[in-house]
Amino acid sequence: MTAGTKTRPRFGEGGFSFAARVGAHARGLAWWPPLAVALIVAAVHASGLGGSFHFDDGHSLLRNPSIRSLAQLPRFFCDPTAFSEDPAFAMYRPLVLVSYALDYARAGYQASAFLLTNLGCHVLACVCLYVLGRQLGLATSTAALAAVAFGLHPQQTEVTHYVSSRSESLAGLFSLAALVTALAGNSAPGRRRHGWLAASLGCTALALMAKTTAIVLPALLFLAWRRRPAERRPWHAVWPWAAVTGVYGVLYWVLTPQGIGAAAAVRPWTTQWVTQLKALMWYGARAAMPVHLSVYPQFEPGAGAGALPLLLAAATLASLAVLAAGLRRCRPWVTMAVAWPAVCLLPTLVIPLHVLVSDHRVYLAAAGPCLTLARHAQGRQRFTAALVLCVAMAAATIQRASVWRDETSLWQDAVAAGPRVPEAHYNLGHQYHLAGQWQQARACYEEATRLSPAYARAQANLGALEQQQGRLPQAAARLTAALQAEPDLVEALTNLGSVRRQQGQLDPAEALLRRALALRPDLAEAELNLGLTLRDQGRLSEAAAHLRRALELDPSLRQRVSGPPAPAD
């Protein structure tokens, strides 16, 4: 530079740095940036508070008697069957059940109360991510940008608008809190350091009790330490957190010994790994371009090892791994952007799940890339572009809230986004069925069975429709087909037993209904139909016992037993 020449400092440098100016102002108001993050995220997601319960909320919440009494709280920590009305859906997520029970005690089955708790968990997770960004050396404005981007991404609407996805946001919240407290303990003196360590281990335990996927926390903590060169710790320093996850693993194995076997029965391990290798690419594409979101995405299981999509996915992931490894010294944040989501999604790669992919599974995985992208949004143009992107994501998130308004709008959207997904057609048909729109329900069920001829529940519901319309032979044929595909489908056993009773075939009806009750002893509908069958057989004392039991389980059945009241004179 020649003498006397003046150059204007670039945006992001010296006195003209927007991040520096905001950071300098915020040093005297340390509470302001996280408060702003919380208010922005809450304001954008607040439109979803008028939504309703959805999908898995039925068995785990609405029909689950365990959450209706706070006296059940100790049971949540030792009995995985408390998670659902159906013991076959047992899961060990005691913290989720505790939150359900507290919400129910406060507001009953008021959906807005449950959704408000979901939103609160998400907002607190965003604040924790802001604090984590500051601990990792990001400027105040950069950390706030990362937290806002994380909070406003349209994929996060699933954890705010779908109550059952609370397990993901609770696990994410306490995972981030565990990282924040662990890093705070690194620089704390004496006893305070031990206090932070205890808090971090406690948050780790809470994250695990929300969802098993938090088992990756020791690896995430190691990644966070690698981003703090002055306080870099060796890998074996994570042993206290590894010990907590190990104790949890033993506890999970003891309480749910059938869990691993049930997971293995979902699909062969080879198919699982091939499928989830493709899924990693799907998650990346969906995060970068969050369009056509769906509660039940259209995603096919992995084909053979030589399939072209698999080879492309493997090549792309291998390239990213090589790039991240090569840049680990000169561009460590890029390495973190690749390694963080890979670690978070590792459990879904290993453990077969019924739903192949889901938006809520990338909840915690999105935190690392958001920190990295915000870190590289330096300069006026990049920072402005990042803000514009956040505004666009906010608009998409607000629009997405209308989809989650009720079950019908949710499954209409799922069918539009995934016309080849039989489960989406089935669930939309179920909503039409409940609303008495039988023609639309039949069309949806038939499309589901066309896409998947062995879809037992769709066949069973078609049988129920035929029965409601008085076509008993057609109903029996549909229900028999459902039982051929799934012999222990309780709803099909109950409905076919009812059909056989109406056809006068009382002995087959009794056998079917007793089989249904052996599988589900608390099923009021089966008790009612068995009582009516025994009554028709003339076994009145046995019939009375089963009818009383049905009314105990579901008092609303009384009118079907006794008939409508006589008209007044």
Query: What pLDDT shows up at residue 127?
Result: 96
Nearest-angstrom CA–CA distance, 101 and 134: 35
DSSP 406: S
Contact 522, 538 (CB under 8 A): no
Residue 15: both structure tokens together: 């006195």
DSSP 212: G
A 10 A CB-CB count for 76 gives: 22
Of all helices (H) and strands (E), which one includes residue 327? none
Query: What pLDDT shows up at residue 495?
Result: 94
Nearest-angstrom CA–CA distance, 217 and 238: 9
Dihedral, CA of residue 502, residue 503, residue 506 and residue 507, to nearest 10: -140
Contact 170, 121 (CB under 8 A): yes
**Phi and psi torsions of 475, nearest 5°:** -65, -45
Q: How confident is the model at residue 303 (pLDDT cuts 50, 70, 90)?
A: low
Nearest-angstrom CA–CA distance, 533 and 505: 9
Q: Which residues contact 46 (CB under 8 A, 6 or more apart)?
A: 119
- Measure Cα distances from 556 to 44, 561, 563 in Å: 40, 10, 12
* pTM for the model: 0.83
What percentage of the chain has pLDDT greater than the value 70?
Answer: 83
Query: What pLDDT shows up at residue 168?
Result: 94
Residue 27: both structure tokens together: 């040093």
* DSSP code string of 189-206: -HHHHHHHHHHHHHHHHH
Question: Would the pLDDT of 161 be above 90?
Answer: yes
Fold classification of 421-561 (topology level): 1.25.40
Nearest to 41 by CA among 118, 95, 108: 118
Q: How confident is the model at residue 299 (pLDDT cuts 50, 70, 90)?
A: confident
The amino acid at 429: G
Return the exposure string of 318-348: e unless at least 16 CB atoms fall within 10 Å of the residue's CB, then b. eebeeebeeeeeeebbbbbbbbbbbbbbbbb
Q: Which residues contact 530 (CB under 8 A, 6 or more apart)?
A: 497, 510, 513, 514, 517, 546
Contact 341, 369 (CB under 8 A): yes
Compute the average pLDDT of residues 36-52.
Answer: 93
Express each pLDDT in 49-68 by its tens digit: 989 999 889 989 998 999 99
Q: How many residues are listed for the chain in this entry?
A: 569
Q: Which residues contact 347 (CB under 8 A, 6 or more apart)?
A: 212, 213, 215, 216
Residue extents of the structural domains in the chain: 31-53+109-403, 421-561
Query: What pLDDT shows up at residue 309?
Result: 61
Q: How confident is the model at residue 307 (pLDDT cuts 50, 70, 90)?
A: low
Where would I find the H helices in 211-328?
A: 217-226, 239-255, 258-266, 269-288, 308-326
What is the Cα 69 distance to its own chain's centre? 24
Return the exposure string of 554-563: e unless at least 16 CB atoms fall within 10 Å of the residue's CB, then b. eeebeeeeee
Nearest-angstrom CA–CA distance, 59 and 84: 5
Contact 169, 364 (CB under 8 A): no
Contact 493, 483 (CB under 8 A): yes
Question: Would the pLDDT of 421 be above 80?
Answer: yes
N-to-C CA span, the chain: 106
Query: What pLDDT shows up at residue 511?
Result: 94
Express each pLDDT in 246-273 by its tens digit: 999 999 888 887 655 555 566 666 777 7
Nearest to 293 by CA among 433, 404, 205, 191: 404
Query: What pLDDT shows up at residue 333?
Result: 67
